[in-house]
Amino acid sequence: MPAALPTLAANTFEVVSNDTTSALPANIMESLAPLLGGQFSHLLKVFMVMEKMVGDRLVLNPALILTSFGVLWAVNRVGRQMYSAASGLVDQHLRSYVSISSHDELYLHMIRFLGAQPKLAESLSLTAETISKTAWEEQDDYDLAPTMMPVDGYGEYLNFSNQKAKAPPRFVPAPGAHEFQYCGRTFQLYRRQESSNNAFFIPHFKDRETLIMSCFGRSPEPIKSLLRHVKEEFYLDHHAKTVVKRPSSHGGGHMNEGYGARHSWMLVANRPVRPMKTVVLDDDRKKQLLDDINEYLHPDTPRWYASRGIPLRRGYLFYGPPGTGKTSLSFALAGVFGLDIYVISLLEPSLTEDNLATLFNSLPRRCVVLLEDIDTAGLSRPPDESTPKCRTVESVHEGQGGSGENNGGSGENKGSSDNNGNSAEELRRVLKIQSANSTTKQGISLSGLLNAVDGVASQEGRVLIMTTNKPETLDEALIRPGRVDMQIAFTNASQKQAEELFKRMYEADGTDEQRRLAAERLPTDGTTVKTQQNGYHVHNHSPNLNDESAKLKEKGKEVASSSQVAVPDDEKQDITPAELSIIAEEFAARIPSSMIISPAEIQGFLLKRKRNPRRALAEVGDWVADVIVQKKNRTKTSHM
């Protein structure tokens, strides 16, 4: 039908143009039609037909009507243009803008904040996101207590399927323009998706976003204050958490592989601080390390270093067999100093030397960098570079006698490794080497690692911790003073360490106490609420316990029962501190003094009996015998 319209109009136009009685002269129409172009030309022709048909019967002059329409249209056009020019000027001169890239962690904080804004939640254009919570966040989630499900006559077990079903998605503003209010001020938000890839021969994927915040006024201060608030809110309980970041690649992906996937730091966890006392290590050594880092992080230190022309860097080498606490101590240190921890494993297959340098250059001023598996650096080096200069790693500090026992020298260490039957370690190494070799195209060479660690642009002020299971294979250059300023040896568990591990496992923890207090707060008779304030017990008699409390009570019961049900009652053993000390001592006496069992192995054994210290004591003898046979025969499986 639309196609027929021009044809009809064209035919009629010929008739009209020959008619000298028309109100509009045909020659004017002929000259106007091409000027107006396609659609308008056809419309004009249709208008002329209608004018011809009804014109004689109308009182008004059709030319006048047409002119009026024309004027209105022109006014509209001019008005619009003036409005857009004026709003452009206002936007340019009277509005302030701040943009946030999706590569910046502030972006995540902002999205989380926006998702909680009521006005934005009612927006007509939203993006739904599945909320992924960490294990620690879920603990706080009182609403979604797991249900108990019977399992084929074995008993009732926790089932979390209802959590998945009930967990509501988070709604955040969709890409485009939005508006919201904060502290009585209106903010505009523009969420724009972009491609970080500009090469014309590569398909463009919208792999990054920019949030543009704006507000009325010639100062961006309101936006800055909003961003400060968003950040503060995110870090509200930060003193109790350690932020863990790891490299993440972007801009590449399987489609763009080979076209320069770039790495940046990605927040992978915000976990509770690991208390220093939970890492079982010689107290003097811990103190030495804490003092050293404290001194280095002191605000006066940068000036001291600068005035002497020394680069502001401090490196630590944690070495020893697997499962002896190197990573644990690094996390505990980050917690003590309230620093974020940036973890890089040199075995990361997609990590290139360029990426490593970029990652080091983008570190914040104060942080802990945990560089794992540094003994694998150089696995992919050219043959002339591939033989590392072996060096015996000695403890730099006096009084670190423990270091020599396991890692006294390369030969000795190897021997001890064999004696210890660390076949699991060997297997791990072989797998690591295989995996590294399979990616030799991208492995990190020694010079690449050194460049990243102390290249010109490398961030000063960070605490670098390098870990290795094979200190004897490290290149001298990597651990020379200036790169490694203190070495800490980690050993398999001594009897004293075993005793400490045992005590830590069974001593009353905060959770038990919290649960007890929660149970106290949840009245059983529905009339009395008991709370504890500043050490005093306060009894509030509330005859009308409202629905809220009743609901809370129900949920409390659900949570309390769910947290206990997996452990049969005969498993739970209450134990006094005095008894615990005695049992821990007996337990330690049954651990070989030759230090062939790692703290991780002891922890694994205790975890299987985590509520029953007496059972752990009764079974430790058999377990140790089993472990010794296992290590001797180099078998990796255990029945205990």
Helix, strand or coil, per DSSP, at residue 572: coil
Which CB, 181 or 434, lies closer to ligand ATP? 434
Q: Does 335 bind ligand ATP (CB under 6 A)?
A: no
612 scored as a contact of ligand ATP (CB under 6 A)? no
Say how far residue 329 (Cα) sits from the centre of its chain.
21
Contacts (Cβ under 8 Å, ≥6 apart) of 135: none
Taking the mean position of all CA atoms in its chain, how far away is CA 389?
38
Please check whether residue 45 is in contact with residue 33, taking contact to mean a CB–CB distance below 8 angstroms.
Answer: yes
Question: Minimal distance in Å, beta carbon 287 to ligand ATP?
Answer: 15
Angle between helices 577-589 and 495-506 (to 10 degrees): 150
Q: Is 327 in the site for ligand ATP (CB under 6 A)?
A: yes
Q: Determine if 370 is a binding residue for ligand ATP (CB under 6 A).
A: no
Part in contact with ligand ATP (CB under 6 A); list of ranges 111-119, 323-331, 434-442, 544-552? 323-331
How many Cβ atoms from other residues are within 10 Å of residue 203's Cβ? 9
Contact status: 322 vs ligand ATP (CB under 6 A): yes
- Choose, by CB under 6 A, the member of 41, 102, 242, 328 that binds ligand ATP: 328
Query: Does 599 participate in binding ligand ATP (rule CB under 6 A)?
Result: yes
Q: Does 323 bind ligand ATP (CB under 6 A)?
A: yes
- Three-class HEC string of 215-265: EECCCCHHHHHHHHHHHHHHCCCHHHEEEEEEEEEECCHHHHCCCCCEEEE
- Nearer to ligand ATP by C-beta: 162 or 278? 278
3-class SS string, 64-112: HHHHHHHHHHHHHHHHHHHHHHHHHHHHHHHEEEEEEECCCHHHHHHHH
Closest CA to 290 of 314, 322, 323: 314
Among residues 117, 242, 324, 395, which is the contact residue for ligand ATP, using CB under 6 A? 324
Rule CB under 6 A: is residue 469 a binding residue for ligand ATP?
Answer: yes
> To 5 degrees, how large is the angle CA 267–CA 442–CA 423?
80
Q: Could you tell me which stretch among 68-76, 134-142, 541-549, 599-607 binds ligand ATP (CB under 6 A)? A: 599-607
Site residues for ligand ATP, window 264-303 (CB under 6 A)? 278-281
- Stretch of 118-126, 317-325, 447-455, 547-555 lying at the interface with ligand ATP (CB under 6 A): 317-325
Provide the minimum distance between the beta carbon of 497 and ligand ATP in the complex, in angstroms, as a whole number.
6
Query: Which neighbouring-strand residues pair with 181?
Result: 186
Our CB check for ligand ATP shows the closer of 281 and 341 to be 281
Closest approach of ligand ATP to the CB of residue 500, in Å:
8
* Nearest Cα to Cα of residue 266 among 102, 463, 439: 102
Nearer to ligand ATP (CB atom), residue 276 or residue 357: 276
Q: Which residues pair with 467 in a beta bridge?
A: 318
Q: Is 44 or 466 the residue whose CB approaches ligand ATP more closely?
A: 466
* Closest distance to ligand ATP from the beta carbon of 429 (Å): 11
Distance, in Å, from the CA atom of 172 to the CA atom of 113, rounded to the nearest integer, reads: 9
Looking only at Cα atoms, what is the longest distance across the chain? 122
- Does position 55 interact with ligand ATP (CB under 6 A)? The reply is no
Looking at the Cβ atoms of 352 and 603, the one nearer to ligand ATP is 603
Binding mask 99-128 for ligand ATP (x = CB under 6 A): ------------------------------
Shortest distance in whole angstroms from residue 494 CB to ligand ATP = 10
Contact between 346 and 495 under an 8 Å Cβ cutoff? The reply is no
Name the site residues for ligand ATP (rule: CB under 6 A).
278-281, 322-328, 469, 490, 599-600, 603
